């Protein structure tokens, strides 16, 4: 059985990616990042998802003292009820986040003998982050082939992005088909007992469930 490292944030996309990998018969090791985000609610969800899926997991704590994002600095106001199709990169962008996360994932994968790294990156219904685009993934894949022992030995680690070109509605339908425990997931940029419903992440999620004609179990 092949092994893979899965980046697990606790949200809809990463949970669907985990269950997709498991459905392929892959043994998954989940990486959960505590990087100083606004709340620990998503970490709680990620751990619950890993346990439900009976996967090994590691919580990786990273300190980003320079902040630079509304997700790291509570002095920066989170976007609320903004047009979802607006141009530009929003204040919730975390500088180099996926570069950092994927670097940790590659190190973990090579250390444990995994052949794939799965990430729930998406280029359709998302907030315009540059590190969620196919061009970035392709370039990072090329870098891994040059910078890892496995790449030099012609057994390159493969980045898997099963959701990269799917709409949020398609992801919701995929999650339902895979029987992802969506009630455990958390997408909201805020903490608290219930999702705020007005941040970009909440609204993309709501749009997906509405277009998929499904009810969100997390609500």
Q: What is the pLDDT of residues 179-212, one digit of tens each?
A: 999 999 999 999 888 999 999 999 999 999 999 9
- Dihedral angle, C-alpha 65, 41, 185, 43, nearest 10 °: 50
Q: What value does the mean pLDDT of the chain take? A: 94
Q: How far is CA 92 from CA 24, 117, 180, 190, 199, in A?
A: 33, 24, 26, 11, 10
Q: What is the pLDDT of residues 100-120, one digit of tens each?
A: 999 999 999 999 999 999 999
Cα distance between residue 127 and residue 129, in whole Å: 6
pLDDT number for residue 185 = 98
Phi, psi values for residue 33, rounded to 5°? -105, 130
Domains of the chain: 3-211 (3.40.50.620)
Look at residue 54 and give its three-state secondary structure.
coil
Q: How far is CA 156 from CA 106, 107, 109, in A?
A: 11, 13, 11
Supply the pTM of this predicted model: 0.95
DSSP assignment, residue 184?
G
First to last CA, the chain: 36
């Amino acid at each position: 059985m092949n092994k893979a490292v899965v980046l697990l944030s606790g949200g809809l996309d990463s949970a669907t990616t985990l269950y997709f990998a498991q459905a392929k018969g892959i043994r998954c090791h989940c990486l959960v990042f505590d990087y100083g985000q606004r709340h620990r609610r998503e970490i709680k969800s990620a751990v619950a998802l890993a346990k439900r899926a009976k996967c090994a997991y590691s919580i990786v704590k990273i300190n980003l003292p320079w902040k630079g994002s509304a997700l790291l600095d509570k002095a920066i106001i989170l976007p609320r009820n903004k047009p979802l199709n607006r141009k530009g990169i929003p204040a919730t962008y975390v500088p180099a986040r996926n570069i950092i996360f994927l670097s940790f994932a590659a190190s973990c994968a090579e250390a444990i003998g995994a052949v794939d790294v799965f990430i729930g990156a998406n280029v359709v219904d998302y907030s315009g982050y540059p590190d969620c685009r196919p061009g970035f993934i392709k370039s990072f894949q090329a870098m891994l082939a040059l910078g890892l022992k496995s790449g030099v030995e012609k057994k390159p680690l493969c980045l898997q992005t099963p959701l990269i070109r799917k709409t949020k509605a398609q992801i919701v339908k995929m999650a339902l088909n895979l029987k992802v425990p969506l009630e455990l997931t958390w997408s909201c940029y805020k903490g608290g007992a219930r999702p705020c419903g007005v941040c970009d992440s909440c609204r993309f999620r709501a749009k997906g469930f509405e277009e998929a004609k499904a009810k969100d179990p997390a609500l």
